[in-house]
Amino acid sequence: MPKVAYSEEDRLQIRQALVVKALELMAKQGIQHTTVEQIYQAVSISRTFFYTFFPSKEDLIVETFYLQQPKILAYAQSLMSDPALTWKEGVVQFLRSCCYGEESGIAVMTIQEQQLLFRRLSPASYQLFRQKQEQLFSQLLLCFGIQPSRARIQLFTNISLTAIVVRRAIPDTLPFFVPDAREETVEFQIRAIADYLEQLRDTPLPA
């Protein structure tokens, strides 16, 4: 007989399982190609029950990014402490892993996915998302030995996300970009970002 009553602990475990499974699927096959049905079936619950946890797929997406953020930071820290890597090699490897998220288990959004998420989030959810995003990029700068400022965080966020979305946008979303040079373009961006971060590391904030 199907279980009809769940304790609060049961619900917390199911909710966590949904977020973990969603992150796993989104990192592997992309957000756009991951369906709500795939997620709730993987956790063995019904569609109706799924929506008692998350009003929409977008709300679940946000939760997966919150779950992913400490993992991303821990990955960056592991690279920075790896004695086999120079500082710049660690930074480059980190950025490359983010750009090729499907190969490294990191879920990233395409341009279209960002637009859709923005349109469907409430103003309060959007503000919380931006706050957590700013915290992550601030912590990453600290991890790289760079003192963060608001301007540095904002620019680092933009140039990092640009490299990530450009790689996924060529050629379908950006048809006038040259597909044959996609990988070289991403590699150039990664190296340029690493050079910029190296300059920041050697430039302390004014007192």
Query: What is the domain partition of the chain in residue ranges?
Result: 57-201
Span 46-62, mean pLDDT?
A: 93
Q: pLDDT class for 3, splitting at 50, 70, 90?
A: low
Q: What gap in Å lies between CA 122 and CA 28, rounded to an integer?
A: 27
What Å distances lie between residue 161 and 9, 157, 166, CA to CA?
37, 6, 8
Q: Residues with Cβ < 8 Å from 171, sequence gap 6 or more?
A: 177, 179, 182
Q: Phi and psi at residue 176, in whole multiples of 5°?
A: -90, -5
Position 7 scores a pLDDT of: 87
* Locus of tokens 């991890």: 143
Is the pLDDT assigned to residue 206 strictly greater than 80?
Answer: no
- 194, 88 Cβ separation under 8 angstroms: yes
Residue 133 structure tokens: 């995003």
Tell me the pLDDT band of 30, cut-offs 50, 70 and 90.
confident
pLDDT value at 1 more than 50:
no
pLDDT of residue 207: 65
Rg (CA), the chain: 19
132-146: average pLDDT: 97
What does pLDDT average to over the chain? 93
Determine which helix (DSSP H) or strand (DSSP E) holds 129, and give its type and residue range: helix 123-143
**Is 30 in contact with 102 (CB distance < 8 Å)?**
yes
CATH code at 57-201: 1.10.357
pLDDT value of position 6: 81
Q: What does the alpha-carbon distance between residue 62 and residue 120 come to, in Å, rounded to a whole number? A: 11
- Determine whether 103 is exposed, middle or buried from the number of CB atoms within 10 Å of its CB (0-12, 13-18, 19+): exposed
Contacts of 136 (CB under 8 A, 6+ apart): 69, 72, 73
Can you tell me the distance from the alpha carbon of 25 to that of 35, in angstroms, rounded to the nearest whole number? Answer: 9
